[in-house]
Structure 1
Amino acid sequence: MIARACWIAFWIFIGVGTAAIQIDRQSRYEPGLAEFVPKPARAFSQRHILVDALRDNDRAKAVEHARTLVARRPMPAEHLRLLSLAQLQAGQLEESSYSIQLAARRGWRDRPSQSTMLELALAARDQPEAARRFAALFVRGGGERTEMQELAERVFGPESDEARQVFAQIVAGADRWHRVFLGRAPLIFPPEALVDITERASASGARFDCQRLREASRRVERREQGRGGALLAAGRGC
């Protein structure tokens, strides 16, 4: 009799657990279901619980929920970014800074994390780090063109020798970068900085496709007369 009761209880437990997991997974698409997921089963739903706490400015709860989210789903960089935000709201500045650095290191494709690190690098006047973070945003694509143009102006302005050198080395480091750089940079970079970076990349061993370089020079010429020819000259060998 006892064995039978234990067997029934076991299957009830399995059924309830399975249902909780299914509701948790469905909460990805229907956030309203998150509150119905039992705490031990929260994974996807934990993010919604955290976001609600952040919206309500419940600082202590937000940090607690964020830590739980990172513990249960540590891989997405977004979760570390949310932890950083919760810590920032709670006044935990050092912890917040550490969390956003981890998020940016783990998620090169997580645009908000990279944007935050770029702003921190600019504030610290760390040109090499700013160039690397800009590179992460640049190669990821997306974002408003005007936003990227403004960032490029700030990162690669007239006094940005170190930033330009670091970015040129990144461009020179892989053939894929040659294509991406010539395709996007003429629409984003200040023309003078674009010519300078291209020349530095060429000096570091980059060999640009001549047809792509000519197309890029025409785009630059439309933005600033005379710079198109300078870009062609900077891409040595074409």
Structure 2
Amino acid sequence: MIAGIAWRAALVGIALVTFGVQLDRQTRRTPAIAESVPEALRSAAQLPVAADALAGDDPDRALAEAERLVRRRPLPAEHLRLLAQAQFAAGQVDKSALSIQYAAQRGWRDPLAQESMLRLALEAGDAPEAARRYAALFLRRDTADALLEELGPPVLAEAGGEGRTTLASIVGGGQRWHSQFLNRGARVMPSDAFVEIIAATAAKGTRYDCRLLRQAQRALSARDEAAGTRLSAIVDEQC
């Protein structure tokens, strides 16, 4: 009889754990139920719990939940970035700066981490690093044009400077994103920097699609007629 009770209790325990694990997985689709997952079983659920805590007014709780998130799932860059935000809110500025650097190194696709690193690079006067982070943001189609317009001038301010030469080397070495560079750059980049980068890459042998290059020239001319005229000369040489 005792063995039967123990067996049924074990089955109930297994069922509860299974239910908790399934509930945890469901939070990927329904984050609102994250708090319903038992704390000991939270994996996927810990991210919305930590994010919710960060949005609240208790920085100590936010920090504790973010630290728990990183302990359980240390690899995603988004988790380290959330930890950095919680550390900053809790007054741990130095730790926050270190965490955001780790996040940016680990996940080039995390836009907030890249933006943070870009701003840190600008503050440190590291133009090449700022340009690399700008390129990472530029390549993300969901990065707002307004953000690229805001960050472009400080990153690419100096004619012939390290920011522009670094971005030119990235553009020249990445044929797969030439179309995105031409299309988006004509809209959001400082016009003189855009023309300089195209001229520098073309001088080193980069060949652009003529149809896209002409489209970029027309779009740029609508913003800056003088820059459009300079780009027109490059179009004539290439096409």
Give the TM-score normalised by structure 2.
0.91
CA gap 1:52/1:214 in 2 versus in 1, 3 angstroms: closer
Q: 1:154 to 1:26 in 2, by over 3 A?
A: same
Alignment-derived partner of residue 203 in structure 1: 203
* Stretch deviating more after TM superposition (117-126 or 156-165): 156-165
Paired residues, number: 238
**2:103 equivalent to 1:110:** no
**What residue number does 1:148 align with?**
148
Indicate conservation of the 8 Å contact 1:221/1:227, yes or no. yes
Distance 2:184 2:17 in 1: 50
| Two-structure CA RMSD over aligned residues (Å) | 1.9
Is residue 237 of structure 1 aligned with residue 217 of structure 2?
Answer: no
- d(CA) in 2 for partners of 1:190, 1:61: 43
Task: Identify unmatched segments of 5+ residues in structure 2.
Answer: none
Q: Which amino acid aligns with 1:173?
A: G
Please give the TM-score of this superposition, normalised by the length of structure 1.
Answer: 0.91
User: Which amino acid in the other structure matches residue 136 of structure 1?
Assistant: A
Partners of 1:53 and 1:161 lie apart in 2 by 43
Measure, in 1, the Cα distance between the counterparts of 2:178 and 2:188: 15
The one-letter code sitting in structure 2 at the alignment partner of 1:237 is Q
Assess, with a 3 A threshold, how the Cα gap between structure 1 residues 160 and 45 changes in structure 2: closer, same or farther. farther
Show structure 1 runs of 5+ residues with no match.
Answer: none
CA drift at 1:198: 1.0
Change (3 A) 1:52 1:179: closer
Percent of matched pairs sharing the same residue: 45
How far apart are residue 168 of structure 1 and its match?
0.1
**Separation of aligned partners in 2, 1:56 and 1:209:** 50
AA aligned to 1:204 is K
Deviations 1:91-121 (A, max 9, x none): 2222211111121122212111111111111
Quickly say closer, same or farther: Cα 1:34–1:177, change in 2 above 3 A. closer
**Alignment partners' CA distance in 2, 1:29 and 1:94:** 35
Native 8 Å contact 1:20 1:38 kept in 2:
yes
Q: Superposition pairs for residues 1-238 of structure 1, below 5 Å?
A: 1-158=1-158, 161-234=161-234, 237-238=238-239
Deviations 1:154-174 (A, max 9, x none): 211135710000000000112
Distance change in 2, residues 1:160/1:19 (3 Å): farther
Q: Counterpart amino acid of 1:203?
A: A
